[in-house]
Amino acid sequence: MPRTIISLSDEDKVWLDRRSRAERVPMTEIVRRAVREYRERYDAGGSSRLKELLRRTSGCWTHGDGLRYQDAVRDEWERRG
């Protein structure tokens, strides 16, 4: 694995040190996770996670017409307001 030197603000370094102690992992692991997550978001524009979530939850509502239910609940809120 290649090594990289980065400069951080004192504030960020203190936060990373605290976080690494709390998670009991090296600071470098937290930085690697952050870079990986940023890269996934940036490369996918956030759409791949959303697509996966939609795929996994598709069809989970089995109690009739979801839009009709949603409208009924919203009507109920308006009557209370």
Q: What is the pLDDT of residues 18-64, one digit of tens each?
A: 999 999 999 999 999 999 988 887 776 667 777 888 888 988 888 88
Whole-angstrom distance, CA of residue 20 vs CA of residue 38: 19
Question: Can you read off the two tokens belonging to residue 47?
Answer: 């759409």
The structure tokens listed for 39 are 């890269």
pLDDT computed for residue 50 by the predictor: 79
Q: What distance lies between CA 14 and its chain's CA centroid?
A: 24
pLDDT in tens, 67-76: 898 898 898 8
Q: For the chain, how far is it from start to end, CA to CA, in angstroms?
A: 59
Quick one: pLDDT at residue 32? 95
Instruction: Please report the pLDDT score of residue 40 as a whole number.
Output: 80
| Block residue for tokens 């090296």 | 26
